[in-house]
Structure 1
Amino acid sequence: MKLFYFVLLMIFLVSCSSKSGYQLVWSDEFDYAGLPDSSKWSYDVEGNAWQWGNNELQHYTANRLENAVVKDGQLHIIAHKEDGFNRSYTSARLVTKGKGDWLYGRIEVRAKVASGKGTWPAIWMLPSDWEYGGWPDSGEIDIMEYVGYAPDSLFFTVHTGAYNHVKGTHKANGVLVPDAEHDYHVYALEWTASKCLFFLDDEKVFEFKKEERATSAEWPFDKRFHLIVNLAVGGNWGGKHGVDETIFPCEMLVDYVRVYQKDK
């Protein structure tokens, strides 16, 4: 049934996107069951050794249904409190790197965040080639972040060499959303050669523009980026007010991911 409605939706989207010049180039509707589609997603586990630079508490796993599974038409990213790993919590961090890398376009994700104090779910992008150097010099685009101790807020952010949270100069906007942890929302980024526009349910909530004489320090967003969907536990931001151990297992749900680009 979901496939039928998806076909109808695609017909509608194609008719709409042709007016604005956008065409669907990559998607995952999660209309299957089991592990996430390996032709579209990989697991990022490399940062387990150094807590991902944010003092996070989770151990990310790979090819483990307990932490990332597609069922009932959705991707479930699940955090557990459990023994047997080098940390007290497990979760998953899925990336499209090497399987979905884009320069400009509209990235759209319909999702429901994991809730509870200590959770830190995110939908975001990192450079695929790091041509301007390591973080933050090559940039970061946070399409959506949520921290469980602020259950009515969502955050939209960019980081660059000049503008980043280490310096306290990052460019961001926080939006009050009373049902942030209870309902699905559509998070979208429209990224062009001159600006990044962030949308919540088709309403623009943040804009970051390229400055007139910008160098890569201010605008590293002229290189390929890939998408990341993850559920972190604790960390410098997510764990600022501790972790409620009674919330586990908890999960982030993703209904679809769609990427559009304009006609050449």
Structure 2
Amino acid sequence: MKLLHPLARAAVALAAALPIIVTATAAETPAPASADVGVNAGPLVFADEFNGSAGTAPDAAKWRYDIGGGGWGNNELEYYTNRTDNASLDGAGNLVITARRNNPGNYGCWYGTCQYTSARLLTAQTFTQTYGRFEARMKLPRGQGIWPAFWMLGNDIGGVGWPQSGEIDIMENVGFEPSTVHGTLHGPGYSGGAGVGGGYTLPGGQKFADAFHTFTVDWAPGAITWYVDGIQFSRKTPADIGGNRWVFDHPFFMIMNLAVGGNWPGNPDGSTVFPQQLVIDYVRVNAPDTGGSAGRITGLAGKCVDVQGSGTADGTRVQLYTCNGTGAQNWTWAADGSVRALGKCLDVSGGSTADGARVQLWTCNGTGAQKWTLSGANDLVNPQANKCLDVTGNNSADATPLQIWTCGGGANQKWYRS
């Protein structure tokens, strides 16, 4: 389905009102592939395990509140409060966000009857980050008209507005799809119903309200990848946004909320039971993986990514070769998305995006030809081309040149840091 959402009104973390919107697109559910979530994670820089006494508020040093009603740009029905009956610890290591049906007119709401209250927590004033891993383990609510979300907004929203600030929806679920979650990007030219993303559906009729699940985004320069329970279900790069501007290279803050009603989920009906609860076991953020000490990149037949002859001249071929511990096989993963050896960068020849473009060593220059991301599925991807580092001809012989090629999941495109 197509969704169009007008710009919303929001009070961001007790600061001045800023335009914020929560939106999503319908799910596209590709066949999931097993993934080892952990490849790109650097040091843990934010964590809330929600340990504390039952009935206490979440840590004010980490979480603030959006407060109010007004539909939030989506014709939602709830009024967000900072009351512990809408957001509190349960004493068992969880934060519980509770949507309740209330007496009409409570909380001085000026929109509709405000018969529902809930909570919306955010880190706009406490924590922002560019790139890294963002993850939460949650048990979702259920019911028609119920809309939980774990998402992020660019911290420049107060200056540039939405969607220019960018939005990364890590997880959204609507009650009429109890087995499906969505991950979506919004930016200029691809917002609202034109947001770019995908969806994941649990197998065998399982429902997200029946058990805890882990929702993860790996965010690297030029690539954002979504996982559910360690299974990669979507990955987007600048090549996926139709020539529009990629706005995901600056700090973002996190938001967790439980909405009631709205354009996308529809309103509660006679089948909807209240209260409903979004139960959060933890929220953790890892810094971008800058690689630390350098090391090998191994692939087909256990052989290494190697600079031919240890040459340092621009254009020296990068190849597959038996691992030997030399500097020609010692690669450092830099924070700017480049991968480096012998003082130069892994580079796609001529900045090409074509299948078969050769990979070489070249003076580091910050271009898209030198950006790489290692996905949870162990694909080493050049986001500019949206293609994988590939062993030419699936040939494991020493000195086989490396190239980029459309990602196909074969062994000749799988790479491991060691």
TM category, shorter: 0.7 to 0.9
Match of 2:177 among 142, 150, 156: 150
Answer with 171-180 or 37-46: which moved more: 171-180
| Offset, 1:98 | 1.6
Closer/same/farther in 2, CA of residues 198 and 244 from structure 1, 3 Å limit: farther
8 Å Cα contact 2:260-2:268 kept in structure 1: no
1:70 aligned residue (89, 113, 117): 89
Corresponding residue of 1:5: none
User: In the superposition, relative to structure 1, how do residues 190 and 32 fare at CA in structure 2: closer, same or farther (>3 Å)?
Assistant: same
Q: CA 1:132–1:196 in structure 2 vs 1: closer, same or farther (change >3 Å)?
A: farther
Matches for 1:93-104 after TM superposition, within 5 Å: 93-104=120-131
Query: Could you say what secondary structure the match of 1:52 adopts?
Result: helix
2:274 pairs, out of 245, 248, 259, with 248
Percent of aligned pairs with the same amino acid: 38
Distance 1:212 1:179 in 2: 30
In 1, distance between residues paired with 2:41 and 2:172?
29
Within the alignment, does 1:114 sit opposite 2:141 as a pair?
A: yes
AA partner of residue 249 (structure 1): P
TM-score between the two structures when normalised by the length of structure 2: 0.55
2:198 partner amino acid? N
1:41 aligns with 2:41: no
Alignment match, 1:24: 44
Q: Any idea what the Cα deviations from partners look like across 1:198-230, whole Å, max 9, x if unmatched?
A: 111111111110239998x43111111000000
What's the offset of the Cα at 1:149?
A: 1.1
| CA spacing shift, 1:55–1:193, aligned 2, 3 Å | same
Residues 133 and 103 of structure 1, relative CA distance in 2, 3 Å threshold: same
1:201 aligns with 2:229: yes
- Give the Cα separation in 1 of the matches to 2:273 and 2:59: 28
Q: Is the 1:234–1:243 Cα contact (8 Å) retained in structure 2?
A: no
What TM-score does the superposition give when structure 1 sets the normalisation length? 0.85
Aligned residues, how many?
241
Distance 1:153 1:213 in 2: 23
Query: What's the Cα RMSD here?
Result: 2.2
| Residues 119, 243 of structure 1: 8 Å contact kept | no
- d(CA) in 2 for partners of 1:60 and 1:137? 25
Is the Cα contact below 8 Å between 1:70 and 1:76 reproduced in 2? yes
Cα separation, 1, equivalents of 2:270 and 2:245: 38
Query: Aligned to 1:100, what secondary structure does the other structure show?
Result: coil
Unpaired runs of at least 5, structure 1: 1-15
The one of the two structures with greater contact order (alpha-carbon pairs below 8 A, sep at least 6) is 1
Q: Which residue of 1 aligns with 2:197?
A: 172
Cα distance change of structure 1 residues 38 and 170 upon mapping to structure 2, 3 Å threshold: same
| 132, 135, 138: which one aligns with 2:165 | 138
Corresponding residue number in structure 2 for 1:4: none
Contact 1:132 1:220 in 2 (8 A): no
**Deviations, residues 165-194 of structure 1 (Å, cap 9, x unaligned):** 2xx321121222222221111000000111
Letter in 2 for 1:185: H
Q: Which runs of 5+ in 2 are unaligned?
A: 1-36, 291-334, 336-418
Which protein is bigger by CA-based radius of gyration?
A: 2
- Moved beyond 3 Å, runs of 4+: 211-215, 241-246
* Offset from partner CA, 1:116-144 (integer Å, 9 cap, x none): 11100000001112277211121111100
